[in-house]
Amino acid sequence: MRFVPARVLAPALLSLVLAASQAEAAGPGEVNIYSYRQPYLIEPLLKEFTLETGIKVNVIFAEKGLIERIQAEGRNSPADVLLTVDIGNLTQATASGIAQPIRSAALDAAIPQAYRAEDGQWFGLTRRARVVYASKERVKQESITYEELADRKWRGKICIRSGQHGYNVALIASMIAHHGEAWTEQWLKGVKANLARKPAGDDRLQVKGVYSGECDIAIGNTYYMGVMLKNDKAPEQKAWADSVNILFPNSDERGTHVNVSGAVVAKHAPHKDNAVKLVEFLASDRGQELYADVNNEYPVKEGVPWSPLVKSWGDFKPDPISLNDIAALRKKASELVDKVGFDEGPSS
């Protein structure tokens, strides 16, 4: 077949050829994710996203350093979306200058104002409650408050991870928001005096401390209950989980402190439109249902049902305070942890 130069093709046929070529070039494309969330926690959602949109998903996972990596890559960064946990990491990302503000009617409708940045630079996608894990054998009360953790009746009976961990910094920031800095300092001293040991380990190891009798109550996030119950590689953790009840602090008053996992769209995202589509999918009914079920967390979108496992832990009232307010108080909270020597342990 003889090659026919484009200049001699009929104008209508040439238009069709060009249109097809442009459509093929555009296609659904791809989106590049840098994720602090472990692959097994997000893969089911990303597969569903690709099935729904045709957009290919590329993921880089790391436990730390991704914000700094995006910052160092600058304008040449391939990152479109950063997935992370905790308001601390989300605000660190924005403070580092790696995020860009996104305006999306779908995200505004799906995510309550308390769980997204006022300027659109970060979006909460799932919630986790900071709760008390109480020994079924040694703790008979069915309710508790954060304020009560400083009561002398808990002397030598509390296990908790480092006060400087983001989860605890956010909780302490919420106490500052409700009670003021001076009051919270005295409260933190009281909690420190009630510790069974020097803060160490992750939230699961605090529950192990209750199981072993080292302490009677532990502070941790709700989703760790799901992690322990589903952990086939460490079946002993199911016994830890079975040894405790979950108490939702302050449910009869202002509500239980909640934090979020979330996302930012990278400042120099090469596939910005697809990045926004991904975040919108994660905030959609389907995305929220999958996200919350796989991660044993609570949806941020109202009306999306909780998974059967999460629902089995009972209802609770979330503290309505905005995470924007929590973020603004994190520095003060961190300073209080050092000021009272919280991580030095109860006898210091």
The verdict on residue 17 lying in a domain is no
Same domain as 337, residue 294: no
Same domain as 200, residue 54: no
Same domain as 184, residue 320: yes
* CA pair distance 139, 76, nearest whole angstrom: 55
The verdict on residue 58 lying in a domain is yes
* Geometric angle at alpha carbon 159, from 337 and 321, rounded to 5°: 55
| Residue with the larger pLDDT of the pair 291 and 65 | 65
Domain containing residue 56: CATH number? 3.40.190.10
The SS3 call for residue 2 is: coil
pLDDT for 20 equals: 34
Distance set, CA 290 to CA 183, 251, 320 (Å): 40, 26, 24
Same domain as 269, residue 171: no
Amino acid at 201: G
Same domain as 211, residue 71: no
Same domain as 322, residue 253: yes
Query: What are the pLDDT digits (tens) for 123-146?
Result: 999 999 999 999 999 999 999 999
Sign of CA dihedral 324, 325, 331, 334: negative
Query: What are the pLDDT digits (tens) for 189-200?
Result: 999 999 999 999
Same domain as 299, residue 264: yes
pLDDT at 348 over 90: no
The verdict on residue 4 lying in a domain is no
Query: What are the pLDDT digits (tens) for 225-259?
Result: 999 999 888 999 999 999 999 999 999 999 999 99
Q: If you average pLDDT over residues 162-177, what whole number do you get?
A: 98
* CA pair distance 288, 219, nearest whole angstrom: 26
The verdict on residue 23 lying in a domain is no
Same domain as 250, residue 155: yes
Q: How many domains does the chain have?
A: 2
pLDDT at 12 over 60: no
pLDDT for 41 equals: 84
pLDDT for 28 equals: 86
Length, in residues, of the chain? 348
Same domain as 177, residue 54: no
* CA pair distance 164, 314, nearest whole angstrom: 29
Structure tokens that stand for 225 in this block: 């209950």
Domain hosting 168: range is 128-257+316-344
Same domain as 232, residue 161: yes
The verdict on residue 12 lying in a domain is no
Q: If you average pLDDT over residues 288-317, what whole number do you get?
A: 94
The verdict on residue 152 lying in a domain is yes
| Residue with the larger pLDDT of the pair 270 and 21 | 270
188: which residues sit within 8 A by CB, 6+ positions away?
150, 163, 172, 175, 336, 337, 340, 342
The verdict on residue 80 lying in a domain is yes
Same domain as 335, residue 223: yes
Query: What are the pLDDT digits (tens) for 29-86?
Result: 999 999 999 888 899 999 999 999 999 999 999 999 999 999 999 999 999 999 999 9
Question: Count of CB atoms within 10 A of residue 140's CB?
Answer: 9
Same domain as 298, residue 156: no
pLDDT for 27 equals: 66
Query: What are the pLDDT digits (tens) for 269-288?
Result: 999 999 999 999 999 999 99
**Average pLDDT of the chain?**
92
288: which residues sit within 8 A by CB, 6+ positions away?
110, 125, 126, 282, 299, 300, 301, 304
The verdict on residue 1 lying in a domain is no
| Residue with the larger pLDDT of the pair 3 and 103 | 103
